[in-house]
Structure 1
Amino acid sequence: MPELPVSDIVLTISALLIVIACTQPLARRTGLPFTVVLGIIGVIIASGASWLLHTRLTDQFNEVAALVVNMPVSSATFLDVLLPILLFQGAITIDVRRLTKDTVPVIFLAVLGVFIAIALIGGAVSLVSSAPLVICLLFGAIVATTDPSAVISLFRDLGAPERLTRLVEGESLLNDATAIAAFGAFLTLIISGGGYEPGLLVQQLGFAFLGGVITGVICGRIAITLISWLSSFRSAQLTITVALPFVIYILAKNYIQISGVVAVVTSGLVLSAMARPRFEPETFKFFQETLEQLAWWAGGLVFILAALVVPDLLSDFVLSDVLIILTAVIAALIARAVILFGIFPLLAALKLTQRVDNPTKIVIVWGGLRGAVTLALALAVTENPLIDRETQRFIAIQATGFALFTLLIQGTTLTALMKWLKLDQLSPIERAFRIQVLTQSLSTVKSSLNNFATRFQLDPRLTEQTAQQYINRLSRIADDKSYKQEINDQDRLIIGLVALTNQEKSLLLDQRLSGILRHDLVDRYLLVIEDMIDAARESGREGYISAAKKPYRHSTKFRILSWAHTHLGFNRPIASHLGKHFHFLLINRILVLELKSFLDQRLQNLLGTQSVTVLQEILDQRLDSIERHLAALRLQYPKFAKTLDRRILERIAYRDELEQIKNFRDAGIISLDLARSLTSEANFFHAARRSQTHVDIKSKTAELLTAFPVFKNLEVSELTQVIKELHPRVLADGAYVFKKGDKADGLYFIESGAVEIRVGDDVHRLGQGDFFGEMALLNETNRSASVKSISFSHLLLLEKDTFHELARTHPDWRSSLSDVATKRKTMNRETRTDLKTD
């Protein structure tokens, strides 16, 4: 093949991009997937160019045809240039938090499914062909890769269920990674002449896969750090994200000798989960749009360039190859059906995954299209000089024929299959809710139209004619008897809860709040929001409230940090944790207050007064819980509370200042130079203002102890000695200090917060300045009651040995404690007597 000049290559690629652009409206008109139409056009162009170049009828088009025929398309063009950005964009587009709910089915479909497909396809093909089993298994690995682009675009056009799209997206990414890793292992086995240990082969495959995951996570986290560091430089942030997949892919594949595909996909998933809070909202939108455009170009070129090599790959095709191709297709469909109809029901029965309905399973089975990756791997075999000619021919023809069958037969019938299975239709609840949304929207449009016409003094008759169209549509909706289903109260409530939670997510990522909440706290908040959505759908009100309160409960991390603070004296970690918790609660409160306004303004007419009243009660319940936790923290850390409030106000003011500058510039009131100058000044002023991120947990213990009556008669030196013996304990709301029957470990003083003492059915509450735990020490018994923190509490523990030593040297102190204990016993007896009398 003669080498083309660089200018001719650029010309050909540019012309192909124009063809790709013009193909999109053609695909929409025909109703076929875009990539299927693109593949057909590519085959037509390649076949036509080859015919023009070799025909004796004319030589007029030889130069143009040569540009297509001699285009230097190799496996590296697909795998090293186009594939990384496609994989990366696909991984970033996936909502990782939603995907985690389907982790088990995606892994089974992608990983186990690939190996079942390789075994079934390889075994079946070996029965109907003369090729050795190892070559048939290599062919199975090549065609095990699925191409989601055609299917996903079709799903979105038809409005397929979100979960179906998510399953196919997740499966395709991991599928490609697993299949390409298996391809490399089988290729190595063939080149080695079969002298490769099976155990070593499995070990190599595992190392490539696991190494790719680790490399992807590390590189993804490094990219996140760089993006955060370059938060003020949009172009720099975008450059890093665009360069990242190519750096990772080449580094992993060529230098570390691990799976570059796995590494790129993993890094993309890391960025999908963590990148958004690190970008300014406008920058993130620009970043998404840029990656989508790059992936669209790459995806189009992948298909049309792959189609250009189809005629060459099929040049030695004979009729007997049809049997092998059909056998492989049937085996591939059976392999997917085994996973979906055999293993998935078992996983659902074991509650390892949600149930997948049969229509969705059928579409996933039939929608396993193959495309550019399959052809790229086939090209890699044909280009390898260590592979014999017969094997190259076998792989080229079978892989190409298999890919063409899936695109031309499965791809063209997928739309009809989805419509037949009614997967393009809304659920009954959504269809019923659609009527209400449409009615309100059309009424609003009609009203806005009349206001616009009045304001600008347009012809009233034309206005009336235009408005009549909306009146007619409203009438048709009201008279439509084809579908009438009332939404029950529970469904309305779930719709409202999901709408509120989605709005909370939008507010969290809003431009004005950008930068107020730390990135790690945004990540945590987003996880809480996803849990709230799932809980609302599954358990309604109770599930939503439980998920919303989850961040307020004491976590394992908090208990570990509290233990380190109490026993090891590590103050900074718990102080930082409390500062983040304080920050989280404050933003949580702001967003819930915003949700109350949103509920009144946007959902009142859609959901009705009764549902909105219940939703208001739920939000009030959330707000009360937040206020209670915040009040305890404000009481304990008043200085930090004021600092945090000031920081939020300054950030809001900064955002408003930038918005005002932008508005003046958009209106043409100020010049571009002045806008830049004002923006730089605002940025400089804001950057110079930093605030602390952790609370000050160094309490003024001496001042606090003098407030306790039992310490008022101690000398200063004695008080100093007691202070040295006190151990701080930090407890979250709901955490037990001790339980009934526990051994007495000491006397507790409440520095701040409150606790609840439960003796049988009796409940008593103590607050700041109180103490408890003296009865078991004085009587030398186990604990007779359970004590639980009912707010965020700081306690001081005087250990048992120190207590007895102090009681021995200060009889008056012991007497004071005995009086308190006697009074509490009397109070407990009186309470129980009253209960019996009642």
Structure 2
Amino acid sequence: MTDGLAILLFAVFALLSGALLRFLLHGSRVPYSVALLLLGLLVGALAEQAWLPAWAQEFSQSVDYVAGIEPQLILFLFLPALIFESAFAMEVHLFRRMLPQIALLAVPGLIIATLLTALLVRLALPLEWSWPVALMFGALVSATDPVAVVSLLKEQSSRKRLETLIEGESLLNDGTAIVFFVLFYAMLLGGAVEAGVAQVGLEFLRVVCVGALVGLLVAAGVVLWVGKVFNDAVLETVVTIAAAYLGFIVAEHGFHSSGVVAVVTTAVLLAGVGRTRFSPEVMHYLHHFWEMLAYIFNTLIFLLVGIIIARLVALPPLHMWLSLLLLYLGVNVIRGTTIALLSPLLARLGIGLTRDKAIVLTWGGLRGAVALALALSVAQQGQIEASIREQVLFLTAGLVVLTIVINGASIGTLLQWLGLAQLPPAKQATVVKAEGLIHNEVADLLEALQRDPLLAHADWPSIERSLQRLRLSAEFQPRAPGPQEDLAVFYKRQLLESERQNYWNQFGLGLLDQGATARLVEAVEAALDGVPDLGPRPRLQGFWAEPPWLGRLARWGWLQRRRFRHLAAVYGTLRGYLQAQQALLGLATDLAPDPSMAAAARQQIEANLEQAQALLSELRHEHGRVVAQLESYTALRLLLNRQREAVQHLADEGVLEPAESRKLIERVEQQMFELARGRTDVLDRRA
């Protein structure tokens, strides 16, 4: 069998096995990643059996081939895509708020864990390892693996902040781990023995900073490119794929810095400041594509890890099994100790850290493909004593299996036991209110359907009973809502998050341009920081006030054009703000835990509306010509949107052939693109 056919056969088997497991595990509490790892171990063990029938021998050859995959290929093939998808899907505002906590865990936390693990290996395990070997091993196994952690959290967690903390740590601590791994690896091979703390610190800063700079440059290139494209889902998606791999390869091979930091930087920048540069119609497609790619790669990598461990790790003597057990217990204690030492700072930085979340943070420190790939690179180094190579590979592989199988399989139960599997009571109260709104809409539709003559013989009593049973799912059953202050905080936060989404929806419809969307979203996120506040918005108020010098000097050419652009931006933000506040008025009543909170919220929202309406009236009075132009642009954009929807509707109904509908949609989108590009030019000419 050729190498290419072996890879293809393994990929087909992996995807079919993953699909079957996903089907069988539906409704089960067994994590998908854990089941895949166990399947990989089983396949790897069975594939080398001599009693296999002849037809299975070719598949066994395929397993042999993938088991011998280069360690670097594991990192370079799977890691960029999985890291990019995870960082791209994170809520950037929350990630920024929690960055001090994440950095504390990813740098000092990993250093502490590395040193304690080296001490454990030297003093408690029956191994004759030198300090360089112990320190290299400590760095190798101390970093929580982003692949394993991210995969698990997507299945188990319902707490966005906790998920972001664990996920963010696993994404960033790889850079720290690689710096120390490379240093101690070089010491083991006879180089860099004299490196001191200062040199290590400088090398760490170089690795992280250069990686971040590479990611920044790649993100800038993507933003410039996609900014010149309009609604081309394939092109914009392909550019993000290239960006993920290009940043990783350039950082790792070109500058010997952290590829993971480069990819995380690129993804976070594209998800944050770069989000308005992508075509609004493409973002939904883009996230779905990356979610699908991450699922495929997770399926492949967990199965591959299981096969590699089963085929390459030799069964050791009894004392090594005891060492593995002690190591597993020890690294969990070390992680708990590290978090306990950092808890006073973790509790005060970012969004804080409670005792229950610290327990989950400790138990969620899984090891995975990254640690295994580094251990395989050690195992292939002929300059290291054979017994040490075998021990490092066995202990690392065993730790990967034990943390994923034991910690991964039980973390759902731990979340349930700590009460973290459900939403907080105060936030849950708003969810129950939302489910009530959904139920009311369904009840209205039920009444309309009961009057439909085509459904006259339906069993309506049975249908109504089914709806009542489905009204509230088990995880959203109402409980004691908690303290009144918590209710107020979650209620306001829910309204602010709805306001932020309203701005993104307006951007998707073309009602807001890139600058207005960014300013409005930034203002909401500033209001979300700390204790959420519905108003007023100091950042917006400062922007809406025209600088006095700009009005006085407006007769000078380029200042006149700048003034018109400022007026256009003010109009855009005012219009978007007014529309969002009007939408919030209804939600304020519908989502309020009690009437007094609804009244207070509505009062603040009405004050926001009154202020914005007064400013808009003043803008129309003083700059009617500019406002008329901007309103004409908005109306035309809405009409073009409706035209595109009408074409798509006729295509869905079969009235238009697919080829004809594509041509019509392309013509409409070309008009929309030219309208967006020409707006500034028109304002300049009017100026």
With normalisation by structure 2, the TM-score equals 0.89
With over 3 angstroms needed to count, the CA separation of the structure-2 counterparts of 1:45 and 1:681, relative to structure 1, is closer
Structure 1 counterpart of 2:309: 310
Query: In the TM superposition, what is the alpha-carbon distance from 1:686 to its structure 2 partner?
Result: 3.8
Tell me the CA shift for residue 570 of structure 1: 8.9
What residue identity is the alignment partner of 1:250? I
Aligned match of 2:495 in 477, 497, 500?
500
Structure 1 residue aligned with 2:159: 161
2:283 aligned with 1:290: no
**Which range moved further: 316-325 or 266-275?**
316-325
Kept after mapping to 2: 8 A contact 1:432/1:486: yes
The offset of 1:492, in angstroms, is: 6.3
Cα deviation, 1:40-83, whole Å, max 9, x if unaligned, reads: 1100100111223xx5x876643332221233422123111111
Report the alpha carbon displacement of residue 488 of structure 1 after superposing the two structures with TM.
Answer: 8.4
Aligned residue type for 1:11 = L
The code of the aligned residue for 2:500 comes to K
Choose which of 183, 201, 208 in structure 2 pairs with 1:185: 183
CA contact (8 A) 2:360 2:415 kept: yes
Q: Could you tell me how far 1:584 is from its partner in structure 2?
A: 4.4
Matched, 1:673 2:659: yes
C-alpha deviation, 1:166, in angstroms: 1.1
Q: Aligned letter for 1:666? A: D
How far apart in 2 are the matches of 1:461 and 1:681? 46
Selected match of 2:63 from 55, 60, 68: 68
C-alpha change, 1:569 and 1:347, in structure 2 (3 Å) is: farther
Q: Secondary structure of 2:314's partner?
A: coil
Residues 562 and 267 from structure 1, CA distance in 2 versus in 1: closer, same or farther, beyond 3 angstroms? farther
Counterpart for residue 711 of structure 1: none
Q: In the alignment, what sits opposite 1:121? A: 117
Partner Cα distance (1:492, 1:423) in 2 = 17
Of Structure 1 and Structure 2, which has the larger fraction of its residues in strand?
A: 1
Deviates more, 1:12-21 or 1:509-518: 509-518
Deviations 1:242-265 (A, max 9, x none): 111111111221122222222112
1:100 and 1:87, CA in 2 relative to 1: closer, same or farther beyond 3 A? Answer: same
Cα distance, 1:507 vs structure 2: 2.5
In structure 2, the CA distance between the partners of 1:15 and 1:562, relative to structure 1 (3 Å rule), is farther
Residue number among 41, 46, 67 corresponding to 1:48 in the alignment? 46
Q: Do 1:86 and 1:298's aligned partners in 2 also have CA atoms closer than 8 Å?
A: yes
User: Which residue in 1 is equivalent to 2:31?
Assistant: 33
Give 1:368 deviation, angstroms. 0.5
The question of 1:550 aligning with 2:536 is answered no
Which residue of structure 2 aligns with residue 814 of structure 1? Answer: none
State the Cα distance separating 1:293 from its structure 2 match. Answer: 1.1
Deviation at 1:87, TM superposition (A): 0.9
The 1:59–1:594 alpha-carbon spacing in structure 2 relative to 1, beyond 3 Å, is: closer
Residues 73-119 of structure 1 show CA distances to partners (whole Å, capped at 9, x for unaligned) of: 22123111111111111111111111111111111111221111111
Alpha-carbon distance change, 442 to 39 in structure 1, aligned in 2, over 3 angstroms: same
Quote the residue 2:352 is aligned against.
355
Match of 2:645 in 1: 659
Query: Partner residue of 2:582?
Result: 596
**Residue deviations 1:291-350 (CA, integer Å, cap 9, x gap):** 1111111111111111111124420522222343344334433443244323232353xx
- Which amino acid is the alignment partner of residue 517 of structure 2? V
Letter in 2 for 1:544: L
| CA distance in structure 2 between the aligned counterparts of 1:492 and 1:365, rounded to whole angstroms | 29
Equivalent-residue separation in structure 2 for 1:472 and 1:347 (angstroms):
43
**Which residue of structure 2 lines up, in the alignment, with residue 831 of structure 1?**
none
2:171 to 170, 173, 181: 173
1:372 pairs, out of 369, 372, 394, with 369
Query: 1:126-165, aligned counterparts within 5 Å?
Result: 126-127=122-123, 128=125, 129-148=127-146, 151-152=149-150, 154-158=152-156, 160-165=158-163
Per the alignment, do residues 19 and 385 of structure 1 end up closer, same or farther by CA in structure 2, a change over 3 Å counting?
Answer: same
> CA-to-partner distance for each residue in 1:751-785, whole Å, 9 max, x for gaps?
xxxxxxxxxxxxxxxxxxxxxxxxxxxxxxxxxxx
Tell me what 1:728 maps to: none
Contact 1:118–1:137 (CA<8 Å) still a contact in 2?
yes
Specify the code of the residue in structure 1 equivalent to 2:72: A
CA shift at 1:604, angstroms? 3.9
DSSP 3-state at the match of 1:553: helix
CA distance in 2, matches of 1:336, 1:571: 63
Answering whether residue 280 of structure 2 is matched by residue 281 of structure 1, we say yes
Residue 835 of structure 1 is matched in structure 2 by none
1:759-770 pair list within 5 angstroms? none
SS of the residue corresponding to residue 226 of structure 1 reads helix
Matched, 1:98 2:103: no
Letter of the aligned partner of 2:4 in structure 1?
V
- Is the 8 Å Cα contact of residues 450 and 463 (structure 1) preserved in structure 2? no
Q: Cα deviation per residue 1:529-566 (whole Å; 9 max; x = unaligned)? A: 2222345xx25xxx3214x33222269xx99x978999
CA contact (8 A) 1:36 1:150 kept: no
Which residue in 2 is equivalent to 1:462? 459
Alpha-carbon contact 2:426-2:487 (below 8 Å) kept: no
User: 1:419 and 2:416 equivalent?
Assistant: yes
Change (3 A) 1:435 1:679: closer
Given that 1:575 and 1:694 are in contact with CA atoms closer than 8 Å, whether structure 2 keeps it comes out as no
With over 3 angstroms needed to count, the CA separation of the structure-2 counterparts of 1:684 and 1:409, relative to structure 1, is closer
SS in 2 for 1:691: helix
Give the structure, 1 or 2, with the largest relative contact order (CA under 8 Å, sep 6 or more).
2
Which residue of 682, 688, 692 maps to 2:680? 692
Offset at residue 576 of structure 1 (A): 3.5
Contact 1:446–1:467 (8 Å) recurs in 2: no
Kindly state the Cα deviation for residue 446 of structure 1 after the two structures are TM-superposed: 3.5
TM-score by length of 1: 0.74
Q: Could you say if the C-alpha distance between residues 177 and 575 of structure 1 is closer, same or farther in structure 2, counting changes exceeding 3 Å? A: farther
Q: Distance in 1 between matches of 2:579 and 2:211?
A: 44
* Greater fraction helix: 2
**Which of 65, 78, 81 lines up with 1:82 in the alignment?**
78
Q: Map 1:657-806 to 2 at 5 A.
A: 657-689=643-675, 690-692=678-680
Distance 1:677 1:696 in 2: 32
Cα distance change of structure 1 residues 261 and 244 upon mapping to structure 2, 3 Å threshold: same
The farther-off stretch of 391-400 and 563-572 is: 563-572
3-state SS of paired residue (1:309): helix
Decide whether the 8 Å contact of 2:313 with 2:393 is kept in 1. yes
Alignment gaps of 5+ in structure 2: none
Q: Provide the secondary structure at the position in 1 that maps to 2:459.
A: helix
* Mapped partners of 1:19, 1:118: distance in 2: 37
Change (3 A) 1:624 1:697: farther
Q: What is the alpha-carbon distance in structure 1 between the residues aligned to residue 430 and residue 499 of structure 2? A: 21
The letter of the residue matching 2:534 is: Y
Residue 550 of structure 1 aligns to which amino acid in structure 2?
R
Structure 2 Cα separation of the partners of residues 533 and 645 of structure 1: 31
| 1:486-565 equivalence runs, <5 A | 494=489, 496-510=491-505, 513-534=508-529, 538=531, 543-546=533-536, 548-553=537-542
Instruction: Determine the structure 2 residue equivalent to 1:389.
Output: 386
Q: Is 1:34–1:150's contact at 8 Å kept on the other side of the alignment?
A: no
Alpha-carbon separation, structure 2, partners of 1:605 and 1:508: 19
1: CA distance between counterparts of 2:310 and 2:372? 12
Partner of residue 572, structure 2: 586
Contact 1:224-1:278 at 8 Å conserved across structures: yes
Which has the higher Rg, Structure 1 or Structure 2?
Answer: 1
